[in-house]
């Protein structure tokens, strides 16, 4: 927990290490990663392909177990939970958005959104939240449509509503604009920022795009499985200046011979 308050942080990661086998070699995808996210904060974890950012999100969501270190969500240690308890906790307290949307083709938009709470036996008590989300995400007129009848942006908004329906402590989004065109992607970023401010939502997005990261309150830079630094996006006026700063950070971290 935060040293100055008894309120648990939505996400606290301590000295996280994650290794993968690649043939005979062992790859350290995450190396001593520590991170804290405060309530209502919008954080972008920025890094190139292979930097470890998606691995970090999967570990934070309890989808992959770390080899060392700890992950606390809403004050709860994920490693201390049984598989069954972790499944229930994840369904109730962690909302996850994937780049590929992961909608069930045979279900309508409303049915896809309601799936987590219905699985948990809480469908009836979530109807008011459903109506609010359908209205706020401009999906009320699309609630009976199946995914193949929805645009990419509509499918991503359905996935976002599904992540929010259980009123989670934190929403984790893995490259949420990766399957969208630039205009629709920026609309989604604006929506994430608006809901973060309107509802005090805590959101962590992993991305390699400066145009996405610039919408966040704080940007954490990840490279080769290590956190290089973090900074406030308000320090930069646009995505171009943010991208230049990010490039300078990554270049400064390279070995001398690699940066030549």
Per-residue pLDDT reduced to its tens digit, 8-55: 999 999 999 999 988 889 999 999 999 999 999 999 999 999 999 999
Q: What is the pLDDT of residue 5?
A: 53
Looking up tokens 């629709």, which residue turns up?
184
CA geometry: angle at 166 spanning 160 and 169, to 5°? Answer: 85
Strands of 42-46's sheet, edge to edge?
A: 94-97, 170-174, 203-207, 42-46, 218-223, 226-232
Residue 123's pLDDT band (cuts 50, 70, 90): confident
Strands of 78-139, DSSP E: 94-97
What pLDDT is attached to residue 259?
Answer: 46
Q: Where are the alpha helices (DSSP H) in the chain?
A: 53-60, 83-93, 109-119, 127-136, 152-164, 182-199, 210-213, 239-253, 256-259
> How far is residue 225 from each of residues 64, 74, 127, 139, 245, measured CA to CA in Å?
15, 24, 41, 38, 19
Q: Is the pLDDT of residue 136 over 60?
A: yes
The CATH superfamily assigned to 11-259 is: P-loop containing nucleotide triphosphate hydrolases (3.40.50.300)
C-alpha 3, offset from chain centre: 25
Q: What is the pTM of this model?
A: 0.91
Where in the chain are the domains? 11-259
Q: Answer for the pair 60, 71: CB distance below 8 angstroms, yes or no.
A: yes
Summarize the confidence of residues 144-162 as an average pLDDT.
95
Read off the tokens for 62.
Answer: 């309890």
Q: For the chain, what is the mean pLDDT?
A: 92
pLDDT score at 8? 92
Question: Which pLDDT tens digit goes with each residue over 90-117?
Answer: 999 999 998 889 999 999 999 999 999 9
């Amino acid at each position: 927990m935060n040293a100055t308050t008894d309120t648990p942080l939505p996400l606290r990661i301590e000295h996280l290490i994650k290794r993968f086998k690649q043939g005979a070699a062992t790859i350290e995808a995450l190396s001593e990663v520590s991170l804290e996210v405060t309530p209502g904060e919008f954080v972008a974890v920025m890094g190139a392909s292979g930097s470890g950012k998606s691995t970090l999100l999967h570990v934070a969501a309890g989808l992959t177990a770390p080899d060392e270190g700890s992950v606390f969500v809403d004050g709860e240690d994920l490693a201390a939970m049984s598989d069954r308890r972790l499944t229930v906790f994840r369904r109730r307290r962690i909302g996850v958005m994937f780049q590929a949307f992961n909608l069930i083709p045979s279900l309508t938009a409303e049915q896809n959104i309601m799936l987590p709470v219905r699985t948990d036996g809480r469908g009836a008590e979530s109807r008011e939240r459903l109506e609010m989300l359908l209205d706020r995400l401009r999906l009320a007129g699309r609630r009976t449509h199946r995914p193949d009848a929805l645009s990419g942006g509509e499918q991503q908004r359905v996935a976002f509503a599904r992540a929010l329906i259980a009123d989670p402590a934190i929403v984790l989004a893995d490259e949420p604009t990766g399957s969208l065109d630039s205009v629709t992607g920026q609309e989604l970023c604006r929506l994430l920022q608006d809901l973060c401010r309107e509802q005090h939502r805590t959101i962590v997005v992993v991305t390699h795009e400066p145009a996405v990261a610039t919408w966040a309150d704080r940007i954490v830079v990840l490279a080769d499985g290590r956190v290089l630094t973090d900074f406030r996006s308000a320090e930069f006026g646009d995505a171009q200046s943010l991208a230049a700063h990010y490039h300078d950070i990554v270049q400064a971290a390279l070995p001398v011979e690699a940066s030549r």
